[in-house]
Chains A and B, each alone.
Chain A
Amino acid sequence: MDNLVLLSVVDIALLIAGLAFYLFVVGGQLKRVATNLEECAGLVRTIKGHAHVIAPGVEHINRTGGVVAGALPLLYGMAEGIVAGVSPQPDPTRPPARPASGVRRSRLHESVGYNPGRMSGEAGQTNHDLIAG
């Protein structure tokens, strides 16, 4: 009888002690988790604040960059017009310059015995014959 009572008390005490121990351990762990989650929440708010300026800033940059990109062809078109305006242009009506003494006929071919103008008048001779003499 006394043993049964003692065992019952021990049983109940074990249950209560086990529950208390595990609840203490789990409570400590959950407290640490809660602290970390609070820090995570703060970090998320910080990141949200950082990201808040991204969209309008990038949109502004894109809009301005589009304007700049659209104006650049106009700028280099104007620069090309300036370059074409200040470059000297040849007069298309003026012929190429020739010497005032006139153009002389070249005698280089005749000096080596080659005269294609006279070759056509003599029958039976080839160019090799004429060159060979």
Chain B
Amino acid sequence: MRGTSTLALTPTQHDLWVGAIIGGLVIVVAVAALLTILVLLVRRIDKRVVMVRDSLRAAAANTADTALIGETAKRVDAVLAEGLQHHLFLGRVLDKVRS
């Protein structure tokens, strides 16, 4: 007794099978093409994301000194306080000059 058996196919079934195989190959090629396009687009996205990352790094470096704005505000307050001292001094001198 043999372990294998042959399946009898009609010519129509054979043709349909061959057509299915050819259609499968066409589908494989189409899927490969579409996935190639997908890979290329994702690669472009990757490059653009790298550019965005570099721009953000530069922007972060540019805005790193914004902490000095608060310090500048304090120094401007010091200028105002010194100006008030000048105002008081000039007021005293002006009173003496007028009297």
Contacts and interface: CB of A to CB of B under 8 A. Distances in A.
A79 B32 CA distance: 86
B80 A18 contact: no
Nearest to A85: B97
Contacts of B21: 4, 7-8, 11
A interface majority secondary structure: helix
A18 B67 contact: no
Contacts of B50: 36
A82 B93 contact: yes
Contact of A22 (B7, B32, B46, B60): B32
Question: In which size bucket is the chain B interface?
Answer: 35 or more
Contact of B60 (A46, A54, A81): A46
Interface of A: 1, 4, 7-8, 11-12, 14-15, 18-19, 22-23, 25-26, 29-30, 32-33, 36-37, 39-40, 43-44, 46-47, 50-51, 53-54, 57-58, 60-61, 64-65, 67-68, 71-72, 74-75, 78-79, 81-82, 85-86
29 contacts: A1-B9, A4-B21, A8-B24, A11-B21, A11-B25, A12-B24, A15-B27, A15-B31, A18-B28, A18-B31, A22-B38, A26-B39, A26-B42, A29-B42, A30-B42, A36-B52, A51-B63, A51-B66, A57-B69, A57-B70, A57-B72, A64-B76, A64-B77, A68-B76, A71-B87, A75-B86, A78-B91, A81-B94, A82-B93
